[in-house]
Structure 1
Amino acid sequence: MPLATTRRAGLVDQVIGQLRDAISQGEWVVGERIPTEPALAETLGVGRNTVREAVRALAHSGLLEVRQGDGTYVRATSEVSGAIRRLFGSELREVLQVRRGLEIEGARLAATERTEEELTKLTGLLADRDRAQLEKNHEDFVRADTEFHTCVVHCGHNKLLSELYRGLTEAVSASVAATSHDTLEEKVEIGHQGLLDAIADRDPARAAAEAGGFLDRLLRAESESPRR
């Protein structure tokens, strides 16, 4: 999706908005280098100083990372996610604790608010996750597991909770990647069929218990693992 040419007023703010939209809509993915300042300036029809200020602002908010001599890379897809990364870095335990709070409430709401169409989608995502686990496909497992948890929260139809969780996408995905090796090797059994069944049965208490239970197991496993 090409960037649109900016209007005259508020050029820096407009460029910030367009770059932010390009990131959130997947024009550039996390870890990808964005075009150079001259290329962006030409595309947007603004000066390089305007682009530089916009990039500096987005780097400050955590969406971009400027690497001297190498270029500018996408660091996160939202300011919330960028803030999470700045605050927590690679502290897996803290990410799991935050996930636990959001996912328990998300599962509780999903059990009462989900639609039949959403239940079908959840079933498909869980099947993808379990297939990847059986095949020991780490990349597909991380993607499917992250999408499953995101969909559970979305099924609760609480816009604020969904937005908060969406902002955690990279942190959630990173935590899944960090904890999934033992699951794939069957050293730790982490399944989600019980959670799906509770949502299907419209049982909020059981859904909340299932969501909290597997995260408690991950937290215990993390606390018992050797510190790097």
Structure 2
Amino acid sequence: MTHPTDSGKTAAALRYLRARITSGEWTLNSRIPREHELMVAIGVGKSTLREAVRSLTSLGMLEPIRGVGTFVRSRTPVNSVIADYIADFPVADILGYRRSLEIESARQAAVNRSEEQLQTLTALLDDSRNAGAESTLPFSHARAPGSFHHTVVEASGNLLLLNMYTCTIAAVRRHRQSGDLQAPDLPQLRREDHSVILRAIRDRDPHAAAAAMAAHVSHDITPGPGAVGPTG
């Protein structure tokens, strides 16, 4: 039986980790501090910290990768049932669905975004972590859309869009790891695309925001050499 003190320590560790994820202090696809650093910062032991990490991993918010570290995968819990359902579709269908979610999110973000969200997007544009790339990771664990994209979806103000997006990106990452998808490493092009999207959202121009996002998502993730085409 878990001692109440242990339970309280685990809850404290969970609050600490989750607060840094949901606030964006730890950006999507970034590696969180090492285990020893977190134990010192939170004031808990290894088993307590690992229990908290396991809890957030089960929610799809963290992903531990053996020998590399633990990475932020979502700022909100991911519905694993929906993510599994989406992942079962052909790669082309998943990319098309993801494209439609991001385009509509950009359109709604241009109308509904707050000044705080605009400031966050502006900061992320110049944040090297926003590339979403873990350069130390093996190829199979490479990049998926990061904090800039997620913040655009949040700025839409549409909770259903956000929930479906987090599930879709979980499915995208799964296919990315298996080699079915590829994300070309083009940081300058990505920054230019993000700049155009940001400008349209800043100017509250929904048509321009949707067009800019459509152009961007057409090339930021593409089917890999081993991808299976659509069925039918």
Out of 194, 197, 210, the position equivalent to 1:195 is 197
Counterpart selection for 2:59 from 2, 24, 29: 24
Q: Separation in 1 of the partners of 2:175 and 2:219?
A: 13
| Letter aligned with residue 201 of structure 2 | I
Q: CA deviation at 1:100?
A: 0.9
Q: CA deviation at 1:215?
A: 2.0
Deviation at 1:84, TM superposition (A): 1.5
Return the letter of the residue paired with 2:114.
T
2: CA distance between counterparts of 1:30 and 1:79? 20
Q: TM-score w.r.t. structure 1 length?
A: 0.54
Are 2:151 and 1:148 equivalent residues in the alignment? Answer: no
RMSD: 3.8
Tell whether 2:186 aligns with 1:183: yes
Identical-pair percentage: 30
Letter in 1 for 2:84: G
**Residue in 2 that maps onto 1:209:** 211
Q: Which runs of 5+ in 1 are unaligned?
A: 3-18, 33-75
Letter paired with 1:167: C
Equivalent residue pairs, number: 157
* CA distance in 2: counterparts of 1:20 and 1:217, whole angstroms: 34
For residues 57-96 of structure 1, the aligned pairs below 5 Å read 78-85=80-87, 87-88=88-89, 91-96=90-95
Higher relative contact order (CA 8 A, sep 6+): 2
Question: Partners in 2 of 1:113 and 1:141 — Cα distance?
Answer: 32
Indicate conservation of the 8 Å contact 2:57/2:63, yes or no.
no
Cα distance change on mapping 1:111 and 1:174 into 2, 3 Å: farther
Q: CA deviation at 1:161?
A: 1.2
Provide the TM-score with structure 2 as the length reference.
0.54
On the 8 A contact 1:110/1:155 being kept in 2, the answer is yes
Q: For the residues of structure 1 that align with 2:130 and 2:121, how far apart are their CA atoms? A: 14
1:174 to partner: Cα distance = 5.2
Q: Which has the higher helix share?
A: 1
Q: Distance in 2 between matches of 1:212 and 1:129?
A: 23
Q: Which has the larger radius of gyration?
A: 1
1:91-141 per-residue CA deviation (whole Å, 9 max, x = no partner) reads 4322211111111110000001000101111122232258758x9947698
- Structure 2, unpaired ranges of 5+: 1-9, 12-53, 67-77, 228-232
